[in-house]
Amino acid sequence: MTRALISLGSNVDRERNLPAAAGALKQHADLTVIDTSCIFESPAVGGDYPAFFNAAAVVETSLDPATLKATLRGIEAGLGRVRTGDKNAPRSIDLDVVLFGDLEDDDLGIPDPGLSEYSYVAVPAAEVAGDWVVPGRNKTVAEIAEESLPPSLRKVPMAEQDLNLTPDDAFEEYGPADETFNPRFEALVREQLEILGEDPDRQGIQRTPYRVAKSMAFLTGGYTQSLKEVVNNAIFESPDSEMVMLKDIEFYSMCEHHMLPFFGRAHVAYIPEGKVIGVSKLARIVDVFARRMQIQERLSNQVADALMECLNPLGVGVVMEAAHLCMLMRGVQKQNSEMITSALRGSFREDARTRSEFMNLVGHELR
């Protein structure tokens, strides 16, 4: 099996085609999708064309590189891609092999020269393959992405545009009007609208029960994800014993008392003892526990315990700062006040110097 990095791009019906292509990769018998990036938006090059959605995926495959390329062409054709002479023409989907193990093959265009030229290739790639050393460049994908970043690339923030969703779940508005997602849940939302004094058959909210059911399934998707599945095989042996920290991990959760959102930033650190984890996975672990009914204290503890469980490190520190809509919207707290929680394990709890190093690193972020 070989690992390959694939770039995805679309500027025709992109809301549908990009997730559909990710879905096609996942369903393909010869490919195992290891990880997918978030979606980024980038302006089209070479003409007055619609902006693109871009993403990247890491797959494992037994195919040889040429067959993999042909397979991707097949998926493109299935999504209506017609190749023309204009290489900048709008396209329903563009799938390219960016990296294939440590292969360097100019004829096949691997590594894809676009990785060094275009941030819309490099930045999504860095999310899923940041540590991958690019053959012939002696640099990691993350380093190349950092060099390439122009201000024009925008991370599409909408949570439902996460490629980890199935294509149908990702873009609910595109479903047929009579489609149901969770009939029991939708009946409840309909009743709730009635109780609130709304007319559930009013045009603007006819599909609201369906949309609420789908978005709620996404927002509470952590219940059906396991830590193992999220961490996958992104744990590596390493002799390092310096503190590893990821700051400002954006998270969104729902308070279990009012079923209203609370959201903010998590700062997660650990001191490895033989094992490290891909940095992007720290954010994924936060999401697994944030996408549930939560209280912030428990969320912080669960993230800390999860890291202890999968890395068995010398210690873990988690600080979360969040605004709670149940307080803000009801005027319980002054606007902009944030709640701060922490969870410390191992040396972060026992060693005053470690703890203060961590708190100092977090410190200037605290407001």
Interacting residues toward Zn ion by CB under 5 A: 255, 257-258, 326
Q: CB burial class (10 A; 0-12, 13-18, 19+) of residue 366?
A: exposed
Whether the CA torsion 333, 338, 343, 344 is positive or negative: it is: negative
- DSSP letters for 19-77: HHHHHHHHH-TTEEEEEE---EEEPPSSSS-PPEEEEEEEEEESS-HHHHHHHHHHHHH
Partners of 105 in beta bridges: 110
Compare residues 318 and 322 and give the one whose CB is closer to Zn ion: 322
- CB-based closest residue to Zn ion: 326
The owner of tokens 């954006």 is 250
The least distance separating Zn ion from the CB of residue 327, rounded to whole angstroms, comes to: 7
The answer to whether the beta carbons of residues 25 and 104 sit under 8 Å apart is no
The least distance separating Zn ion from the CB of residue 257, rounded to whole angstroms, comes to: 4
Compare residues 44 and 339 and give the one whose CB is closer to Zn ion: 339
Q: How far is CA 12 from CA 32, 92, 159, 171, 296, in A?
A: 26, 5, 21, 15, 41
The least distance separating Zn ion from the CB of residue 58, rounded to whole angstroms, comes to: 38
Compare residues 44 and 260 and give the one whose CB is closer to Zn ion: 260
Compare residues 326 and 359 and give the one whose CB is closer to Zn ion: 326
The least distance separating Zn ion from the CB of residue 326, rounded to whole angstroms, comes to: 3
- DSSP letters for 185-246: HHHHHHHHHHHTT--TTSGGGTTHHHHHHHHHHHHTGGGG--HHHHHTT-EEE----S-EEE
Compare residues 138 and 336 and give the one whose CB is closer to Zn ion: 336
The least distance separating Zn ion from the CB of residue 321, rounded to whole angstroms, comes to: 16
Compare residues 64 and 256 and give the one whose CB is closer to Zn ion: 256
The least distance separating Zn ion from the CB of residue 66, rounded to whole angstroms, comes to: 56
